[in-house]
């Protein structure tokens, strides 16, 4: 497993996330209780871990929306944000097809277009690892 982080292909360079992303972090859902009806029913898509699980690479639909109160306690992420789940269905990924909010069970990465793209995780090949013969 350590080879994933130590063996690099030709032309690969090590970079910090802050160098390849213009923004990254957990989604926000500060209000408690999280299911307070006054947060929902507006015009801002609210993407949850299940929406990411059900996406086929790109998130093109959502099951919930935030209103102004929901947006005020959250954050609106731009289309093209790479979304990674960190709860429930852990480490599933998809790209936002529209501006949306998401809870703190999702991490968002907005790529620096001059260095990379949201598509990067789907183009990384599995590393070749040598193992001793039994």
Domain assignment of residue 9, yes or no: no
Domain assignment of residue 77, yes or no: yes
CA gap 79, 98 in Å, rounded: 4
Residue 129 has pLDDT above 70, yes or no: no
pLDDT of residue 3: 60
The model carries a pTM of 0.82
Query: At residue 83, what are phi and psi to the nearest 5 degrees?
Result: -105, 130
Domain assignment of residue 130, yes or no: no
Residue 118 has pLDDT above 70, yes or no: yes
CATH number of the domain to which 59 belongs:
3.90.220.20
CA gap 56, 44 in Å, rounded: 21
Please, are residues 39 and 99 in contact by the beta-carbon 8 Å criterion? no
Residue 122 has pLDDT above 60, yes or no: no
Please, are residues 27 and 102 in contact by the beta-carbon 8 Å criterion? yes
Domain assignment of residue 30, yes or no: yes
Q: Which two tokens stand for residue 71?
A: 């947006």
């Amino acid at each position: 497993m350590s080879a994933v982080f130590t063996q690099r292909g030709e032309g690969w360079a090590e970079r910090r996330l802050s160098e390849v992303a213009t923004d990254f972090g957990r989604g926000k859902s500060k209000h408690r209780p999280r299911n307070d009806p006054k947060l929902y029913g507006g015009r801002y898509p609210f993407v949850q871990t299940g929406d990411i699980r059900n996406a086929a690479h790109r998130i093109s639909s959502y099951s919930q929306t935030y209103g102004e109160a929901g947006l005020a306690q959250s954050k609106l992420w731009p289309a093209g944000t790479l979304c990674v789940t960190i709860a429930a269905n852990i480490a599933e990924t998809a790209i936002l097809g529209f501006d949306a909010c998401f809870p703190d069970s999702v991490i968002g990465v907005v790529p620096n277009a001059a260095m990379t793209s949201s598509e990067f995780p789907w183009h990384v090949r599995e590393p070749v690892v040598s193992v001793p013969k039994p």
